[in-house]
Amino acid sequence: MKSDQVKIFCWFCWMMLLAGCASSLPAKNIPPSFVLQPVQETEISRYVRAHQPPGSDELSGFTLVQTGTDALAARLAMIDRAEASLDLQYYIYRGDVTGGLIAERLLSAADRGVRVRLLLDDIGSALRDFDVATLDHHPNIHVKLFNPLTLRGRISRYFSKLGEFGRINYRMHNKLMIVDGQLFITGGRNIGDEYFSLSTMDFQDIDIIGMGHITREVTRSFDDYWNANEAVPVSHMVRRPGPRAEQRLRGQLRAHRLRHQGSAYLQAVEESPFNRALRDDRIDWHWGEAEWISDPPTKADPGHATNQEPILARHLMRHVRSAEQELLLMSAYFIPGSRGEVFLIDMAEHGVDVRVLTNSLATTDVLAVHSAYASYRRPLLEGGVRLWELRRQAGEQERASAFAGESLASLHAKAFVFDRQKLFVGSVNLDPRSIVLNTEAGVLVHQPAMAESLVQLFEHWTSADFAYELTLDEQDRLRWRAGEEDWSSEPHATRLRRSAAWFLGWLPIEGQL
């Protein structure tokens, strides 16, 4: 072996050894941090009091947010109105247009004295370490990384992924923002253009804004994650930026915003239905009992008793089992597994109208997930479960992004409705990764009027303009129907995409999806 090859081989072995030795998280000796107690005379507190019905101290108020522009408008409005604290917890945070707008608003909030806590999943987040560390350099901004890689270099991080796979395979998939400890938004959206209708991949999603009694549970959940051993301050992982780094970052964010100022997209956000309703005090709040359902952060700790424990899933299953007439499931990734398949068929056989909306091969953003899901379609249909798959859109439908040219719609929502009496909106997909490997969270609301709104959205998304209904013909072959149109194979999926999905279907990876 030549000397250069020997050096490369030794370097490779050294990096793998480092990664293996660094499989545990660094020790941190820092005091815990908790949500700031709500201040009575803030804009948010006055708003909550003004909209809470008399005698409803034990109830919570909610409103749904459906479109991408409304979702961004809601987040920007909440950040701008914060006076005491902002707590954010996200799986993905991209440094694109919308991510830059939110980052600049967070800096502005910190400048006016708001304490900002930002908890990011380390693998999911797409921000550069240096930019995250620069945000953390602000005295009022504190950033932590959940279950981070210990080797941070551009190349060494790949060795870290290999050597630490047994630990980093567990991710924090939660999505949450809390303002002044009294108002929060959660659901399926991460931070990035594709979640706010500004990308060629236009994710169709649902958020829910909540206030009232449930915020105590929500803030407690955030504190549990923030103070968990798996949440490591970025300052423990990344070198401290120089004194001018923050100034440069501010300049980049300002230039970033100015490049898009006055664009059709930002005008649409400013004039979105949510902003108009907020200005005119016309947001429709639904009040009722609610539960915050969350996996504990220790689900991601291989050495903890709750590792891989499907705590949230078990809680949700109690509500699924309670459905007597109708169960509606919207899940971007749907892999029921053999037990889930039997369970859903049993419900259908006992008279429950079980309906599922997920992605088609043409709209999924993860081919391997579709490959695993595909084998469950025929037995579910034979058992009486009804299935729809989202149609590929090319800008002609009302939901596709009008701000990024032609776009491909993809379902990203995770929402369920039980007997039109209660609903769940959160981060959890119906797949093994969400159930076993990821931490997840969401809110379950006992509110018939709100459940009916989600039913209407389900029926809209499963109409012929937006989805294919799957059926079986006389020869027990799959058919896809949309209005008068009919297909005998995966519609609008290229031959390459079909071949790739077929190949992935042979791999024994369902438990990781």
pLDDT at 401 over 80: no
Percent of the chain topping pLDDT 90: 77
Q: Is 414 a catalytic residue?
A: yes
Q: What is the DSSP string of 122-185?
A: TTT--S-HHHHHHHHHSTTEEEEEES--S--STTHHHHHHHHTHHHHTS-B---EEEETTTEEE
pLDDT at residue 19 in the model: 44
pLDDT at 8 over 80: no
pLDDT at residue 135 in the model: 94
pLDDT tens per residue, range 473-493: 999 999 999 999 999 999 999
Q: What is the pTM of this model?
A: 0.93
Please name the residues in contact with 326: beta carbons below 8 A apart, sequence gap of 6 or more.
352, 353, 355, 417, 418, 419, 420
The pLDDT-based confidence of 398 (bands split at 50, 70, 90) is very low
Kindly state the tokens that stand for 498: 């079909």
238-255 mean pLDDT: 90
Q: Which of 419, 446, 465, 492 is the catalytic position? A: 419
Q: Which of 137, 173, 299, 370 is the catalytic position? A: 173
Q: Is 122 a catalytic residue?
A: no
Q: Which of 137, 142, 175, 286 is the catalytic position? A: 175
Class of domain 57-279: alpha beta
**How many beta carbons lie within 10 A of that of residue 449, not counting itself?**
11
pLDDT tens per residue, range 188-212: 999 999 999 998 888 999 999 999 9
Q: Is 7 a catalytic residue?
A: no
pLDDT at residue 25 in the model: 74
pLDDT tens per residue, range 368-390: 999 999 999 999 999 999 999 99
Q: 114-118, 201-205, 324-328, 457-461: which range is least confident on average?
A: 201-205
Q: 123-127, 253-257, 356-360, 460-464: which range is least confident on average?
A: 123-127
Percent of the chain topping pLDDT 70: 92
Mean pLDDT of the chain: 90
Helix (H) or strand (E) segment spanning residue 472: strand 467-472
Q: Is 207 a catalytic residue?
A: no
Q: Which of 70, 131, 180, 301 is the catalytic position? A: 180
pLDDT tens per residue, range 298-308: 999 999 999 99
Q: Is 28 a catalytic residue?
A: no
pLDDT at residue 378 in the model: 97
Q: Which of 299, 319, 412, 422 is the catalytic position? A: 412
The pLDDT-based confidence of 27 (bands split at 50, 70, 90) is low
User: Which tops the pLDDT comparison, 180 or 241?
Assistant: 180
Q: How far apart are CA 438 and CA 433, in angstroms?
A: 6
Taking the domains of the chain in order of start, what are their residue ranges? 57-279, 310-512
Q: Which of 131, 414, 422, 431 is the catalytic position? A: 414
Q: Is 36 exposed, middle or buried (0-12, 13-18, 19+ CB in 10 A)?
A: middle
pLDDT tens per residue, range 311-334: 999 999 999 999 999 999 999 999
Q: Is 180 a catalytic residue?
A: yes
Contact (Cβ atoms closer than 8 angstroms) between residue 407 and residue 398: no
The pLDDT-based confidence of 126 (bands split at 50, 70, 90) is confident
Q: How far apart are CA 361 and CA 49, in angstroms?
A: 47
Of the candidates 485, 437, 133, which has an alpha carbon nearest to the alpha carbon of residue 300?
437
Quick check: do 57-279 and 310-512 share a fold? yes
pLDDT at 18 over 90: no
pLDDT at residue 395 in the model: 35
pLDDT at residue 509 in the model: 86
CATH superfamily of 310-512: Endonuclease Chain A (3.30.870.10)
Q: Which amino acid is at 161?
A: K
